[in-house]
């Protein structure tokens, strides 16, 4: 096999994985993870169930992949923002706007992330805990850097990261499950105002 067709194969495989992921988001959002069968995901994706199993050995693996893809996206947002050399406040503003935009564009995804985040105990939930924890660590570093640069007041940066992430998630969870989608539009500015006092 030459290099060109190998690249092609990888590209097709990635596209199929994404197609499965998107179909799974739709179905799980409507039916819940517990009630979703691999056959339902296959039907939604317009693929044979055998094809799904070529990519994911179980339903759990599909859900883990949904979280992984979302984590990758947020990491990309973060590193994209880092390159822009923004102040801590501008950084948080941009982060809030982009994070909420993703959910406004795709509430199905938001619902899956919010509802299924504790989908299994033990081993499998490790990845999701990891996800939450690594985002909080990134925010903590941001607040610490802000304190160092004199842009943020002396605060408990760990608690601040937990609080900021928690308030964001709390608003999202309520907006998506009640549902009160319109809150997602007003929330970023409101949340930023609530922490305005931490900036020098």
By CB under 8 A, the count of residues binding a copy of itself is: 38
**3-class secondary-structure state, position 35:** coil
Residue 28 burial (CB count, 10 A): 27
Nearer to a copy of itself, 28 or 42 (CB): 28
How many residues are listed for the chain in this entry?
Answer: 200
Q: Compute the least distance from the CB of residue 149 to a copy of itself, in Å.
A: 21
- Rounded Cα–Cα distance for residues 165 and 187 (Å): 13
User: Nearest approach, Cβ of 114 to a copy of itself (angstroms)?
Assistant: 8
Part in contact with a copy of itself (CB under 8 A); list of ranges 80-88, 99-107, 144-152, 188-196: 188-196
Residues in 120-159 that interact with a copy of itself by CB under 8 A: 120-121, 129, 132-133, 136, 156, 159
Give the Cα separation of 146 and 152 in Å (integer).
Answer: 5
Give the one residue of 101, 106, 127, 167 binding a copy of itself; rule: CB under 8 A. Answer: 167
From the CB of 125, what's the least distance to a copy of itself, in Å? 9
Candidates 49, 75, 163, 192: give the one binding a copy of itself (CB under 8 A). Answer: 163
Q: Are 63 and 151 contacting, i.e. CB atoms less than 8 angstroms apart?
A: no
Which of 48, 54, 170, 200 lies at the binding interface for a copy of itself (CB under 8 A)?
A: 170
Q: What token pair was written down for 48? A: 């044979």
| Cα-based torsion angle of the residue sequence 77, 160, 97, 171 in order, rounded to the nearest 10 degrees | 120
Please name the residues in contact with 39: beta carbons below 8 A apart, sequence gap of 6 or more: 49
Does 174 sit near a copy of itself (CB under 8 A)? yes
Torsional sign, CA 97, 102, 122, 34? positive
36 lies in the binding site for a copy of itself (CB under 8 A): no
Binding site for a copy of itself (CB under 8 A): 31-32, 34-35, 114-115, 118, 120-121, 129, 132-133, 136, 156, 159, 162-163, 165-171, 173-175, 177-178, 183, 186-187, 190-191, 194-197
């Amino acid at each position: 096999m030459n290099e060109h067709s190998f690249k092609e194969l990888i590209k097709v495989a990635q596209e199929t994985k994404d197609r499965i992921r998107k179909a799974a988001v739709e179905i799980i959002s409507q039916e819940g993870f517990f009630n979703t069968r691999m056959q339902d995901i296959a039907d939604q994706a317009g693929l044979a169930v055998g094809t799904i199993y070529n990519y994911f050995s179980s339903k759990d693996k599909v859900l883990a992949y949904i979280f992984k893809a979302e984590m990758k996206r947020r990491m990309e947002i973060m590193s994209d923002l880092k390159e822009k050399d923004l102040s801590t406040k501008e950084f948080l503003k941009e982060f809030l706007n982009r994070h909420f935009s993703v959910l406004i564009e795709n509430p199905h995804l938001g619902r899956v992330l919010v509802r299924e985040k504790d989908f299994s105990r033990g081993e499998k939930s490790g990845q999701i805990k990891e996800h939450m924890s690594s985002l909080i660590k990134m925010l903590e570093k941001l607040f610490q850097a802000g304190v160092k640069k004199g842009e943020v007041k002396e605060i408990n940066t760990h608690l601040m990261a937990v609080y900021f992430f928690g308030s964001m998630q709390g608003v999202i969870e309520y907006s998506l499950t009640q549902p009160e989608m319109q809150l997602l539009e007003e929330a970023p500015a409101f949340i930023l105002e609530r922490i305005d006092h931490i900036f020098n």
